[in-house]
Amino acid sequence: MKGIILTKQLVEDSAAQEAVEEVTGQVIGEAKYVQNYITDHIPDLISFGLRVLLAIAFFLIGRKVIDWIRKIVRKSLERSSADRGVVQFVDSLLKCSLYAVLLLSIVTKFGVEPSAIAALMASGGVAIGLALQGSLSNFAGGVLILLLKPFVVGDYIIEDNHKNEGTVKEIQIFYTKLSTIDNKTIVIPNGTLSNSSLTNVTAKEKRRLDLSVGISYNADLRKAKEILSGLLEADPDILKEEERLVCVEELGDSAVILGIRAWVKTELYWTVRWRLLEEIKLTFDEKGIEIPYTQLTVTMREAGKENK
């Protein structure tokens, strides 16, 4: 019985040893195959590595050359007194074009034939056109903005569809950047701006200032109008050669609404508006002109008097 068990154990040990030897042999074989493959292809690997290094060096040099070309073109456009938006658009277009040429040049260095690239672009033209439909629309929108000039860099605009507003800082090849009054940046596609209505607040040098002020029905109407006319006359930023008007705009439920109209320079609009509103309030308080506000009167009765 012990002999049978011993024989069985020897058989199992022999099978395990054979399995280990088989696995070891496979590992050694694969290692030799990899070693032989690397040995046989060392020249190709070295050649590929050199081409990668050359491509990286070519890209770095090309990037410097592109920056140099862009700098020369920007200075030339600025010397020719070109619009700032045109300068930004041309610079953005030039940057994309030059980088595309640089990348194609690097690809050809890896053995890809230019004819193969052209054939690939031609065969995939429809797919590329559909994929870039939005980008092409934005590009066309940027061209229309530069040609028609609904706004220029420095204008304050309001995009009517989504009510985005701000000062135009950049007109790029695909997008226009706005800077809001609280120093946020809004990026709007050129296609959206060219295909929707917008309001250019600063397109004109002058802007009309419209204010409405309510006074009590018990207040002296003529005196209030004289005060408002005097404030318009005394303000140094109100354009005296333009129309100035103080009128009764509306007879409201609890106040007589006086309308004030005057003209100011566009860049001074908010400064004059805020200053004039403060002066109206202080002067009305000083002259005894009441500005009514919504009030709630509560009448309380004693319980005993109600029963009587």
CA 150 to chain centre: 18
CATH number belonging to domain 206-287: 3.30.70.100
Beta carbons within 10 angstroms of residue 77's beta carbon: 17
Quick one: pLDDT band at residue 253, thresholds 50, 70, 90?
A: confident
pTM over 0.75, yes/no: no
Domains 133-200 and 206-287 share a fold: no
Beta pairing, strands 206-215 & 256-265: antiparallel
pLDDT in tens, 106-158: 777 766 666 666 666 666 555 555 555 677 788 888 888 888 888 988 899 99
Among 141, 153, 162, 260, CA closest to 200: 153
Q: What is the DSSP letter of 295?
A: -
CATH of domain 133-200: 2.30.30.60
| Phi/psi of residue 242, nearest 5 degrees | -95, 165
Structural domain boundaries of the chain? 133-200, 206-287
Q: 166 to each of 112, 149, 150, 200, 263, how far by Cα in Å? A: 47, 17, 15, 10, 22
Tokens of 274: 């805020």
For residues 127 and 205, the model is more confident at 205
The pLDDT score that the predictor gives to residue 123 is 60
